[in-house]
Amino acid sequence: MYRRNITHILMPMALALALVVGYHLFLKTPAATRLASTASTVGNTIEPVAPPPPPAASPREVHPAQIRVLDHPAIPGSRHETLLIAIRDEIEKRNLPLAESKLTALPQSAVSDATTKPFVAVLWNNLGIEQETLHGTQLSVKAFKKAAALDGSNPVILMNLAHAYWEQRDPALNRDLLEQLIRLAPEEPFPHLAMAELLHEQNQSSEALTHLAHAADRVPRDPALRSYLAAVTAKVQHMESVESRMTARTSEHFVVKFDGAEDHGTWTTVLEILEDAYREIGQKFGHFPSKPIVVVLHTRDSFQGATGSPAWADGLFDPTLGRIQLPTQGATTDTKWLTSVLRHEYVHALLHDRLGTSSGSLPTWLNEGLAMQLAGDPWPDLDEALHGEVTIIPLTYLEGPWGALPATAADLAYLEANSATHYLIERWGMAQVDGLLKAFKARTPAGTAIQNTLFVSYEQFHHQWLESFQQKRS
Ligand SMILES: [Zn+2]
């Protein structure tokens, strides 16, 4: 059994923070209260972290929609006026499917007419805002696309579209779109932040740093946001200084970086393990990553220096930097260990890719449980590992970060996560697991997600799972 690799579970915190920051940068609303308690977690440290913001406080629910809704310009004497006003009223009454079907059915003359066209664009935009409030960006992105197609010079519409793409990790959020947005809305920090992220993903870290600086310049008088950006900047700078002297090898789906002295054998082995994981786990899971995944092999010293990991950590997936990091000590001699760690972290990377900016809403027990189950981690069954009287930690306690758990509780947490996820997959199948992931992507709280997907309450699920392994013990 390899030592638990616990630090990556602190990372969803940084991710939730990235989301909150991105969102607030974009909306220009005060974020100081929420940020104040979480800004210290950015640096990938292992200090105890504050729990993630409860679902009720997620950005979507506090969404001040009026900021992004466009006022309707007057429609001067159009013969479509009645029709357009009726649609506007349906949106305001939140009869969204009706409004959408009426918008879709508008006569071509209303859509192409130069006087009504901007008004129709505004209607699509405002429909998107309402859809996003109720159902998230998965739905709103379509409306914003329609709006932008009608009026691509409107900075608010383009900003809404870019933000929806960003949340959905849609490759349509490319350099061209962001450059256009920077031209149209030069004072906004969000396009620079998104550009920095894009460039970072494309391995252009020095250009990314320039845009991080531009974003910071555009966040006036907000010390928490500024310190957040400073922390991310420092992290990227540090990463660049460590990785600039590394060699990179690429396969079809991975970029593997390592200290120059590493031998051919190691990276060939690593790439083979990763490509196997890509195929096998992708098939089981029904998802393949949208972009190549970066894997950084550190010497033991540079691993701890670069990641701030404790000595016992075997590896981690860092969602802020979007890479799997692991020490190579032992990698050449212990292929079994290497396979376990790489596959485990690969599942975390895959879940992060699947959930995008919502990964923070995935309960840690399920994140870890899926990593263990899909990677085939060699953990014993809970019933084999536990003897005598055992106090089970309720799963609801294991939804947030595990960093503050004492070591014995952490061992139990992994065993429980493995067991509960095994039970979930065995009893409901991967299709329902997929349903759960969809719900978490929409930031549904765990209780609701389980009820709506498995048709049992969280309590019932918990009870049935405990019964299932107690039966095995007796
Ligand atoms: Zn893990």
Ligand 1 centroid to Cα of residue 99, in Å, is 45
Q: Where are the beta strands (DSSP E) in 261-380?
A: 293-298, 316-318, 323-327
Q: Is the pLDDT of residue 62 over 60?
A: no
Please state whether 356 falls in left (phi above 0), alpha (psi between -120 and 50) or beta: left
For the segment 180-206, the average pLDDT, to the nearest whole number, is 88
Q: How far apart are CA 186 and CA 214, in angstroms?
A: 10
Looking at domain 245-357, its CATH architecture is: 3-Layer(aba) Sandwich (3.40)
Name which of 74, 123, 116, 75 is nearest 99 in CA terms: 123
Q: 132 and 321 in contact (C-beta within 8 Å)? A: no
Q: How far apart are CA 35 and CA 269, in angstroms?
A: 42
Q: 398 and 362 in contact (C-beta within 8 Å)? A: no
Ordered by start, the domain boundaries in the chain are 10-237, 245-357, 362-473
Q: What contacts 447, CB < 8 A, 6 or more positions away? A: 457, 458
Q: What is the mean pLDDT of the chain?
A: 77
Q: Is the pLDDT of residue 11 over 90?
A: no
Fold (topology level) of 10-237? 1.25.40
Per-residue confidence band for 90, with pLDDT thresholds at 50, 70 and 90: very high
DSSP state of 39: G
Q: Is the pLDDT of residue 292 over 80?
A: yes
Q: In what order do the strands lie in the sheet with 254-259?
A: 246-250, 254-259, 293-298, 323-327, 316-318
Ligand 1 centroid to Cα of residue 60, in Å, is 28
Topology agreement, domain 10-237 and domain 245-357: no
State the pLDDT at residue 379.
Answer: 72
Q: Is the pLDDT of residue 20 over 60?
A: no
Q: What contacts 392, CB < 8 A, 6 or more positions away? A: 412, 416, 466
For the segment 190-205, the average pLDDT, to the nearest whole number, is 86
Cβ atoms < 10 Å from Cβ of 334: 13
pTM recorded for the entire structure: 0.69
Ligand 1 centroid to Cα of residue 214, in Å, is 35
Ligand 1 centroid to Cα of residue 332, in Å, is 22
Ligand 1 centroid to Cα of residue 283, in Å, is 20
For the segment 13-30, the average pLDDT, to the nearest whole number, is 33
Looking at beta carbons, which pairs linking 111-117 to residues 24 or more positions away fall under 8 Å? Answer: 111/150, 113/78, 113/80, 115/75, 115/76, 115/78, 116/75, 116/78, 116/80, 116/84, 117/150, 117/151
| Phi, psi at 342, each rounded to 5° | -65, -45
Q: Is the pLDDT of residue 318 over 60?
A: yes
Ligand 1 centroid to Cα of residue 228, in Å, is 25
Least confident range from 176-185, 366-375, 395-404, 421-430: namely 395-404
Cα dist from 87 to 92, 96, 142, whole Å? 9, 9, 17
State the pLDDT at residue 316.
Answer: 83
State the pLDDT at residue 305.
Answer: 64
Name which of 160, 63, 185, 40 is nearest 443 in CA terms: 63
Which of 229-238, 356-365, 455-464 has maximum average pLDDT?
455-464
Ligand 1 centroid to Cα of residue 345, in Å, is 6
State the pLDDT at residue 118.
Answer: 87
Neighbours of ion ligand 1 (CB under 5 A): 368, 371
